[in-house]
Amino acid sequence: MAAMSTDNGADEQARLLLELVRQLEAELHSGRPYSLTIDLDANLERDLGLDSLARVELLGRIEKKFGVRLAEAVLAQAETVRDLLNCLKGATSSSAPAPLPLPAEGGQQGEEATVGEAVHATTLVDLLSWHERHHGAQLHLNIYGEGELRERITFAGLSHRATEVAAGLQAMGIGAGQSVALMLPSGADYFVSFFGVLLAGGVPVPLYPPARLSQIEEHLGRHVTILNNCQATLLITIPEVRPLTRLLQAQAPGLGAVQTVAQLKGPAGELQPRPLKASDTALLQYTSGSTGDPKGVVLTHANLLANIRAMGQAIDASPKDVFVSWLPLYHDMGLIGAWLGSLYYGCQLVIMSPLAFLVRPESWLWAIHHHRGTLSAAPNFGYELCLKRIEEEEISGLDLSSWRLAFNGAEPVSPATVEDFPARFKGYGFKAAAMAPVYGLAESAVGLAFPTPGEPPAIDRIQRQPFMETGQALPAPEDEKGCLRFVACGRVLAGHEIRIVDQNDQVLAERQEGRLQFRGPSATSGYLRDSEKTRELFHGSWLDSGDLAYLAEGEVYISSRSKDIIIHGGRNIYPSELEEAVGCISGVRKGCVAVFGSRSEKSSTEKLIVVAETRAQAAEELQQLTKEINATVTDLVGMPPDQLLLMPPHTILKTSSGKLRRSATRALFEEGRLGGRGRAVWYQLARVAGAGLLPQLGRGLSWLLARLYGAYCWALYLLLALLTALPVLLLPRPAWRRSVARQAAKILAILSGTPIKVQGREFLQQHRSMVLVANHASYLDAMLISAALDVDFTFVAKAELWDNPLLGPLLSRLEVEQVRRDDVAQEIAASRRFLSPEKKRRSLLIFAEGTTQRLPGLLPFHLGAFVSAAKAGLPLVPVTIRGSRKKMAAGSWLPRVGGVTVIVAPPLIPTGDGWQAAVELRDRARAEILARGGEPDLADVRPPQRGRKKENKESSDG
């Protein structure tokens, strides 16, 4: 009877479990016109299409239903419903999950932080060596496993263990520049292997480890392309992979051996140090994960250190910070942003496994609580998972007040998430300003744009129709419904540049969507052994991000991807590969498969949608196709589709030449009209084609008109320049020559349709002689200000302009004073000469920034003009030019339609003739121009960090 009772209990448990699985499967695939037969042997991924996030949801429901606490490993190891049932039988009863234990020693924020960053390090090896010498006993790594603190590693401990691995690698023949692949989970072995490879002189190549041991063979098969491309001579991995060495070597002939960390740390003799240079490759970061077209981004030690330093400067990083991370170490944000960034600044890093977070997202927050974490990061789906999965009773007593920056990147940032997460966790000490959307990409190491610490994220509300039709991001009125919302991802990092361009690489105006390009010291030199992709990446000195974006007030707003890449759970998925593979399945119409990403209102994470046409109608046939497609997609990208739609022929929209129209098909899907009855396919195609035709015509017309206008302006300029040059060269009096030049500037402004509005003109009449100081936003500024101000003044201009054989004589005849901007003493001397009595004390105009630059913002001012004004006792008049950057920005030679405003402020009288008076005069004038300019302050007002010279990189275009 007892056995029968036990059997009845097991049957009831199985029934309830199957009921939970069926309920979740039905919710996830509600659009499917048929239901699946689900039994205990159904495969969670291949048969039911449950990806990792869906399985996390299922585990949560199981724990609540049965009142148990399942081990983290269940998520990775359970493949069938029966596996879940077996795990359920062995689970113990549990109430609310206990928080992570408080570290026994030295775990609190910044307690041991006594030494700062390694400012003189030129390689990652220098970096680790510096920390070992200066504070080797300081704690660096706190490594968690199964909710417990498993290991603590100091800087010296990391160096010592890495040296052991390096000696083993050298004993196996690893030489300078040879690639060594790392296929390891997050843990101590990963950290010591990474630096072991560098110390041996090799190049580490991170690969993501297998999620399930039963799928190792398939997993390795997906990495063969990467192993061959990087020509890896060795793979460091877990013991379970070693039996498959022959399989790997058959497909990757260059792979000499597969080793574990334990094997490499055996007796191997002393390490022979290999000299490294900043220009040596430090990391090969493959961008496409498990897709069929991996690209190895080549990153040097200089690239990585430049990026880490720029990110640290942007967030005021210090040794007192504590970074808590569950991000995988094969991902650039986890490897470079979390670990190497923490290493550089001497911070503690608390590392958890991604699996631990997925199963119990509250464990991430408790780790921040206990370690008093100040920094942490996650893709948008990570914050969303916290909102959906964490119950109030699981975080009772939680304190997040130490968390000063919560980076949100690696996938599209949802406006709802950056609003909802701070609102939900405000009661637990989380500050709204801590949410920090960021932007970056592997081709720029990891980071490219960061927000200003202490400022809550900006969300831009823009008018939907103009943006969809012309790409103009026009601000929407507060009462407008249905507007688009984009999250600001910060400002470009110091020393780096961003520009937004059209298809012809012409720089676009602010608030105009286009392709985002970048350059800077973190930028890669290209893709390893892929010259074609490298050529596509580079546009002159600029690199194409592959993203569409716009700029507004110096902030970067990412709008979409230009190549239909789907980002799901922080991973890139390329539709074409999946479409081809699914199209080869018997029963699916070849060439009639569409794969795209979709973001529903209920979820802020992009979902993977597969639409496949088939003539099959019987339920059995449809079920079999579903299983085969789920299996194929899982094999290729490591996860099943979020939604699979088997549709009748002619459902998917195509162009007249037969190409897939993914965007149009996605639009129908999101409107709920994909395959719907009542509308013929030709009608749907006509509607979508018609809707796309007008915006294309509009963009084409705008492009043509913009270039016609630009050509007209240049023709007008050249004509007036020719007509003006002769009188300037022949007239005997300098005042007459300058008058001719001013009149030509006025005529050019009128004929080019450039209205110039002047405010404060009366302030120019108060003094006969003065120093005018203006901001410098465009190459047109000199012409515009000449046309705007009826004052006999002359310019101070950079000496390089006199090298031009045509321009030099004209500048001399106009008595323009030349100065070298990189020589402050010479600049001051030139200004003094011009303001001397023998020069008749004419008015002088100086562009105090000294250069133009592309991004909106006021640069620091040079002091020469202010020293001269103070010494001469002359009034100084701040002049603000607004609109010229939009008219023609630096780096662009295409004038645009638009007006300009010139604002003259009241004169400033020097309070003395010394250095302090000049500095005070500069600060007062800059404050006046900054207040009227409507652009952000780009001066670095923070004190420079130890050992680093504070600098401002001027554009070479100036």
Residue 917 burial (CB < 10 Å; 0-12/13-18/19+)? Answer: middle
Q: In angstroms, rounded to a whole number, what is the distance separating the alpha carbons of residues 129 and 139? A: 15
Please name the residues in contact with 25: beta carbons below 8 A apart, sequence gap of 6 or more.
36, 38, 48, 49, 50
**Residue range 824-834, pLDDT digits in tens:** 555 555 555 65
> What are the tens digits of pLDDT across the range 257-278?
999 999 998 665 688 888 899 9
Q: Which range is least confidently modeled, 301-305, 462-466, 545-549? A: 462-466
Residue 496's alpha-carbon distances to 177, 908, 955, in angstroms, are 28, 35, 11
Tokens 């897709």 belong to which residue? Answer: 291
Q: State the Cα–Cα distance between residues 551 and 739, nearest whole angstrom.
A: 39
User: Do the strands 449-450 and 491-492 form a parallel or antiparallel pair, or are they unpaired?
Assistant: antiparallel
Give the Cα separation of 940 and 950 in Å (integer).
8
Measured between alpha carbons, how far is 818 from 140 in angstroms, rounded to an integer?
54
| pLDDT at residue 86 in the model | 86
For residue 323, what pLDDT is reported? 98
Two tokens at 808?
Answer: 């030099």
**What's the pLDDT score for residue 213?**
57
- Single-letter residue type at 911: T
The pLDDT tens digits of the residues spanning 12-22 come to: 888 888 888 88
Q: Scanning the structure block, which residue is given the tokens 């996650």? A: 378
940 contacts 494 by C-beta, under 8 angstroms: yes
How many residues comprise the chain? 958
Q: Give 248's pLDDT tier (boundaries 50, 70, 90).
A: confident
Q: What is the per-residue pLDDT for 215?
A: 59
Quote the pLDDT of residue 9.
65
Least confident of 153-162, 293-302, 758-767, 855-864: 855-864
Q: If pLDDT is split at 50, 70 and 90, which confidence band does 649 have?
A: confident
Q: What is the pLDDT of residue 363?
A: 93
* Weakest-pLDDT range from 662-666, 733-737, 745-749: 662-666
CA Rg, the chain, in Å? Answer: 32
**Average confidence (pLDDT) over 435-443:** 96
Identify the CA nearest to 276 among candidates 122, 86, 505.
Answer: 122
Note the pLDDT of residue 807: 72
Residue 79 or residue 660, greater confidence: 79
Are residues 593 and 662 in contact, defined by beta-carbon separation less than 8 angstroms? no
Helix (H) or strand (E) holding 214: none
Looking at the predicted structure, is the pLDDT value of residue 509 above 80?
yes
- Among 227-236, 245-254, 782-791, the minimum mean pLDDT is found in 245-254
Q: What is the separation of C-alpha 425 from the centre of its chain, rounded to a whole number of angstroms?
A: 25
pLDDT at 841 over 90: no
Output the six-digit token pair for 585.
Answer: 């399945």
Cβ atoms of residues 162 and 192 within 8 Å: yes
With both helix axes pointing from N to C terminus, report the angle between 864-872 and 824-834 in degrees, rounded to the nearest 10. 40
Whether the Cβ atoms of residue 443 and residue 537 lie closer than 8 Å to each other: yes
Contact 545, 520 (CB under 8 A): no
- Looking at per-residue pLDDT, the higher value among 312 and 35 belongs to 312
Residue 236 has pLDDT above 50, yes or no: yes
Token readout for 348 is 């503690």
Which carries the bigger pLDDT value, residue 381 or residue 824?
381
In which band, very low, low, confident or very high, does the pLDDT at 47 lie, cut at 50, 70 and 90?
A: confident
The DSSP-derived string for 653-691 is -B-TTS-B-HHHHHHHHHTT-TT-TTS-HHHHHHHHHHH
Q: Give the mean pLDDT of 423-439.
A: 97
pLDDT at 751: 92
Separation of alpha carbons 446 and 285, rounded Å: 10
Of 466 and 269, more confident: 466
Q: In 35-96, which ranges are E strands? A: 68-69, 92-93
Distances (CA, A) of 173 to 243, 251, 261, 264: 22, 21, 16, 12
Q: What confidence score (pLDDT) does residue 53 get?
A: 67
pLDDT in the model for residue 410: 85
Q: 454: Cβ–Cβ under 8 A, 6 or more apart, which residues?
A: 433
Residue 469, pLDDT score:
73
- Among candidate residues 329, 57, 25, the one with its CA nearest the CA of residue 183: 329
Q: Which of 482-486, 744-748, 799-803 has the lowest mean pLDDT?
A: 799-803
* Mean pLDDT value of segment 920-929: 91
Is the pLDDT at 366 greater than 60? The verdict is yes
Token pair in block for residue 146? 């199964």
Question: Cα–Cα distance between 770 and 907 in angstroms, integer?
Answer: 9
Contact between residue 448 and residue 419 where contact means Cβ atoms under 8 Å apart: no
Say what the pLDDT of residue 685 is: 43
Amino acid identity of residue 764, one-letter, is L
Q: How far is the CA of 236 from the CAs of 175, 265, 290, in angstroms?
A: 16, 12, 19
Share of the chain above pLDDT 90, in %: 40
Closest CA to 692 of 661, 724, 671: 661
Angle at 871 between CA 865 and CA 873, to 5 degrees: 95
Rounded to an integer, what distance in angstroms lies between the CA atom of residue 59 and that of residue 20? Answer: 10
At 613, which helix (H) or strand (E)? Answer: strand 607-614
The yes-or-no verdict on residue 809 having pLDDT over 70 is: yes
Q: Which long-range contacts (CB under 8 A, 24 or more apart) does 678-684 make?
A: 681/650, 681/651, 681/653, 684/653
**How confident is the prediction for the chain on average, in pLDDT?**
83
Query: Does the structure show a pLDDT above 50 at 477?
Result: yes
Name which of 842, 837, 790 is nearest 816 in CA terms. Answer: 842
Which one has a higher pLDDT value, 925 or 63? 925
d(CA 264, CA 687): 63
Among 57-66, 422-431, 879-888, the range of highest mean pLDDT: 422-431
61 membership: H or E segment, kind and range:
helix 52-66
CB 218 within 8 A of CB 635: yes
Enumerate helices (H) and strands (E) in the chain, giving the number of each: 30, 36
Q: What is the DSSP string of 405-472?
A: EEEE-SSPPPHHHHHHHHHHHGGGT--GGGEEE-B--GGGSS-SEEPPTTSPPPEEEE-HHHHHHH-B
- 666-692 residue pLDDT tens: 888 887 878 654 444 344 445 545 544
pLDDT exceeds 60 at position 941? no
